Amino acid sequence: MKQLLLYVLVTCAVLLSTGGSRGQQLPAPGPAKKPGWWQETVVYQLYPRSFQDSNGDGIGDLRGIMARLDYLQSLGVGTIWLNPIYASPNDDNGYDISDYRQIMPEFGTMQDFEALLRGMHERGLKLVMDLVVNHSSEEHEWFKQSRSSRQSPYRNYYYWWPAEKGTPPARYSTFDVSRNAWQYDSLTNAYYLHYFSVKQPDLNWNNPALRQEVYSLMRFWLDKGIDGFRMDAFQFVAKDPTFPPMPGLNETNYINAYNHGPRLHDYLQEMNREVLSKYNIMTVAEGAGRNPTEAMLFVDPARRELNMTYHFEAVGVGNTPERYQLTDLKRVFTRWDSAFAQKGWQSIYLGSHDQPRMVSKFGDDRPAFRAASAKLLNTFLLTMRGTPYCYNGDELGMTNSRFASIADYRDVAALNGYQLVKAQGGSLPAYLQSLQRFSRDNSRTPFQWDASTNAGFTTGTPWINVNPNYTPVNRAAQEKQPDSVLNHFRQAQRLRQQHRVLVHGQYQLLDAANPNIYAYTRTLGPARVLVVLNFSASPQSWGVPAGLAPSGQPWLNNYPTLAAGPFLALQPWQAVVLPLH
Ligand code: TEU
Ligand code: CA
């Protein structure tokens, strides 16, 4: 099982030590400074391929998104992060880019993009684009040139190892069918490096010409008016071009080993000087740093690099064969919060296009508990310090798709993992079972708009099957129910906008050892709130600590009532936000 997990885990779940503060004694917040807009926004991550198809080809597109702008605005979120929409042969759903300045024809045209950006700005929504520059597609013109000859001016845009030097020192790849990150290319008798699939050759950041190309394409989009970048796999971009042997490197530790290569921060500081500092934008690096200390290097304002990062440790807590322990989740979130209490900023998320659905993993997606637990998780995301990220569909409590057959999967990670298990004579049924829990395709199924065919996503055949639970779980039904997951999300998000304490307030964990209840306070000057979350399917009684007397009605409650007193009697998955005296 452990071995199988490795094939399917699609996170950079860095294996972090468990040390660090338990957060009981937190330092006072730093001096008041005008916050950046990116601290006070809520980000909605939108997976364009699965959001809304406008022309019946079964693939979501920009005009589809445009048709849903009023819905996005109705959520109250401030920023939309679009997964890649650039030209791509789609080996890895757009994370393999063949032209950074073109829109993928399946998604639309540059005119469509410009209209979409205008439409968002008119509604007060900001737009953040994915920036995928650890690697390109093998179909990018740079790579075609690079591969054509050892003399090509583009040769050093990528990493090549001449075969006359022998086999290159071992490097592992995340998606490769044999896990080898070196691919032999007979045209020039050399190997090229690919940390991801064989069709995603790694770009050579040691080459200043390549870096200038990246800065130039960043300006291209920023000058169109976009509001920032989510920087894909950025912790991997820095590499020692001599590729020294890495003793002890293996299939489980390579992600850590590749993190934080030489000159990574030189590149970021250069990028900041040349590009980022010239715009009022949001920048977030994916997976940056193996621990909070390393992550701080990216976001310490004095270093002039990025605004925030997001780590994998919390989502990694749920990626275990057994169900996760709430105490682990609390420890991880608390440790990261305390590391950023004085300076820097972080992202808060539980789901993404690389993760299974948050309600299936951290909540309870059985019909009796799905809605309550989804509301609880949204309460959590929207009451933590940091910028919350809502992955599209999580505002409805969409669940894992749990496909039965490999033919239903589309993700290169799942398909190549299957080939690998097969080649090694492993158990394919066991692999399929693990995909039902961990595959990235669980969260990539079409958005569930209504109860019509294909959930209102397309009039054609969807590129990936719709989750069959779309008849009970869809947006149209939830619009009609005042207490739906959707309306609760809107309420929670409004609450965050109204109360700065929920954005900037100091976080203090309570009752750290409680295996069922996640409780914390947020404090900003005189403003103080208590958040109590019952992460279990059974009723729980929780004794309110002395000095934390709630005043008045809950600000937010996912049940109609709360039995309060010296003990809170919490219903299954009940989540309450209580103002304090
Ligand atoms: O992910 C990079 C990353 O390291 C992981 O979270 C990734 O899912 C895992 O290593 C692959 O199993 C980013 C994107 O979010 C992901 O969708 C892309 O597939 C990947 O980069 C390559 O571009
Ligand atoms: Ca389409």
* Range with the poorest average pLDDT among 20-24, 104-108, 186-190: 20-24
Q: Which of 173, 193, 213 is a domain's end point?
A: 193
For residue 545, give both structure tokens. 């600590």
**The residue type at 300:** D
- The total of other beta-carbon atoms located within 10 Å of residue 87's CB is 21
Domain-embedded: residue 270: no
User: How many domains does one find in the chain?
Assistant: 2
Chain centroid to CA 548:
34
Domain-embedded: residue 523: yes
Which of 291, 233, 496, 312 lies closest to 387, judged by CA? 496
Residue 412 CA to residue 409 CA, distance in Å, equals 9
Report how far ligand 1's centroid is from the alpha carbon of 357 (Å): 16
Which position has the token pair 């006072």?
28
In the chain, what percentage of residues exceed pLDDT 70?
94
- Whether 243 has a pLDDT exceeding 90, the answer reads yes
Ligand 1: nearest atom to the Cα of 236: 4
Angle at 54 between CA 49 and CA 59, to 5 degrees: 30
* Range with the poorest average pLDDT among 213-222, 257-266, 386-395, 432-441: 257-266
Strand 126-131 with 79-82, pairing: parallel
For 340-474, where are the alpha helices, taking DSSP H only? 358-361, 370-382, 412-423, 428-438
Residue 510 CA to residue 530 CA, distance in Å, equals 10
Instruction: Residue 170: give its domain's CATH number.
Output: 3.90.400.10
Spell 332-350 as b/e; 16+ CB within 10 A means b: bbbbbbbbbbeebbbbbbb
Average pLDDT over residues 175-195: 97
Residue 390 CA to residue 422 CA, distance in Å, equals 36
For residue 57, give both structure tokens. 């080809």
Strands (E), 167-241: 182-185, 190-193, 228-231
Average pLDDT over residues 188-205: 98
Structure letter (DSSP) for residue 526? T
Which position has the token pair 């690389």?
354
Decide: residue 156, CB within 10 A, 0-12 exposed, 13-18 middle, 19+ buried. Answer: middle
Ligand 1: nearest atom to the Cα of 92: 19
Domain-embedded: residue 186: yes
Number of H helices, E strands in the chain: 19, 20
Question: Could you tell me the maximum CA-CA distance found in the chain, to the nearest angstrom?
Answer: 77
- Whether 181 has a pLDDT exceeding 60, the answer reads yes
Average pLDDT over residues 401-430: 97
Structure letter (DSSP) for residue 36? P
- The total of other beta-carbon atoms located within 10 Å of residue 566's CB is 8
Report how far ligand 1's centroid is from the alpha carbon of 44 (Å): 18
| Helices 208-222 & 264-274 angle (0-180, nearest 10) | 40
Contact criterion met (CB below 8 Å) for 359 and 398: yes
3 state SS of 422: helix
- Ligand closest in space to the Cα of 438: 1
Strands (E), 399-514: 506-510
Chain centroid to CA 102:
24
- Ligand closest in space to the Cα of 60: 2
3 state SS of 99: strand
Report how far ligand 2's centroid is from the alpha carbon of 454 (Å): 14
For residue 153, give both structure tokens. 């001016």
Which of 505, 509, 500 lies closest to 524, judged by CA? 505
Identify the pLDDT of residue 21: 33
pLDDT, tens digit, 9 for 90 and up, residues 295-350: 999 999 999 999 999 999 999 999 888 999 999 999 999 999 999 999 999 999 99
404: left (phi over 0), alpha (psi -120 to 50) or beta: alpha
Residue 508 CA to residue 495 CA, distance in Å, equals 19
Instruction: Residue 572: give its domain's CATH number.
Output: 2.60.40.1180
Domain-embedded: residue 332: no
pLDDT, tens digit, 9 for 90 and up, residues 482-495: 999 999 999 999 99
Residue 575 CA to residue 569 CA, distance in Å, equals 11
* CA distances to 277, 281, 395, 538 from 219, in Å: 11, 12, 33, 53
Identify the pLDDT of residue 334: 98
Decide: residue 41, CB within 10 A, 0-12 exposed, 13-18 middle, 19+ buried. Answer: buried
Report how far ligand 1's centroid is from the alpha carbon of 335 (Å): 24
274 is catalytic: no
Report how far ligand 2's centroid is from the alpha carbon of 189 (Å): 41
- Ligand closest in space to the Cα of 56: 2
- Ligand closest in space to the Cα of 462: 2
Give me the phi and psi of 230, to 5 degrees please. Answer: -105, 120
Strands (E), 19-139: 43-46, 79-82, 86-87, 99-103, 126-131
Identify the pLDDT of residue 32: 53
Identify the pLDDT of residue 1: 43
Report how far ligand 1's centroid is from the alpha carbon of 132 (Å): 10
Strands (E), 288-360: 308-310, 347-348
Domain-embedded: residue 572: yes
Which protein residue's CA is at the shortest distance from atom 23 of ligand 1?
95
- Whether 476 has a pLDDT exceeding 80, the answer reads yes
Pick 170 or 566 by higher pLDDT: 170
* Mutation test residue for ligand 1: of 91, 354, 434, the one with most atoms within 8 Å of CB: 354
Domain-embedded: residue 115: no
pLDDT band at 229 (very low <50, low <70, confident <90, very high): very high
Ligand 1: nearest atom to the Cα of 352: 15
> Please, which residues bridge with residue 423 across strands?
none
3 state SS of 237: coil
- Ligand closest in space to the Cα of 312: 1
pLDDT, tens digit, 9 for 90 and up, residues 43-88: 999 999 999 999 999 999 999 999 999 999 999 999 999 999 999 9
Which protein residue's CA is at the shortest distance from atom 16 of ligand 1?
354
Q: Which of 193, 210, 236 is a domain's end point?
A: 193
Which protein residue's CA is at the shortest distance from atom 11 of ligand 1?
10
The active-site residue out of 96, 112, 176, 232 is: 232
Alpha-carbon torsion 449, 454, 458, 459, what sign? negative
3 state SS of 494: helix
Which position has the token pair 């129910």?
481
Q: What domain range includes position 533? A: 506-579
Contact criterion met (CB below 8 Å) for 486 and 478: yes
202 is catalytic: no
Identify the pLDDT of residue 17: 31
pLDDT band at 23 (very low <50, low <70, confident <90, very high): very low
- The total of other beta-carbon atoms located within 10 Å of residue 512's CB is 15
* Range with the poorest average pLDDT among 12-21, 63-72, 277-286, 539-548: 12-21
Residue 406 CA to residue 386 CA, distance in Å, equals 38
Residue 46 CA to residue 419 CA, distance in Å, equals 30
For residue 135, give both structure tokens. 């690697």
Which protein residue's CA is at the shortest distance from atom 8 of ligand 1?
10
- Across the chain, what does the average pLDDT equal? 94
Instruction: Give residues with Cβ within 8 angstroms of 496, minimum separation 6.
Output: 42, 382, 383, 388, 502, 503
- The total of other beta-carbon atoms located within 10 Å of residue 39's CB is 16
Domain-embedded: residue 454: no
What residue ranges line ligand 1, CB within 6 angstroms? Answer: 10-12, 92, 95, 132, 174, 196, 232-233, 286-287, 353-354, 413
Residue 194 CA to residue 91 CA, distance in Å, equals 13
Domain-embedded: residue 175: yes
* Mutation test residue for ligand 1: of 7, 132, 193, 232, the one with most atoms within 8 Å of CB: 232
The active-site residue out of 96, 138, 227, 286 is: 286
Report how far ligand 2's centroid is from the alpha carbon of 391 (Å): 21
Average pLDDT over residues 108-118: 98
Report how far ligand 1's centroid is from the alpha carbon of 160 (Å): 22
Which protein residue's CA is at the shortest distance from atom 12 of ligand 1?
10
Give me the phi and psi of 521, to 5 degrees please. Answer: -110, 155
* Mutation test residue for ligand 1: of 9, 47, 86, 174, the one with most atoms within 8 Å of CB: 174
Average pLDDT over residues 430-458: 98
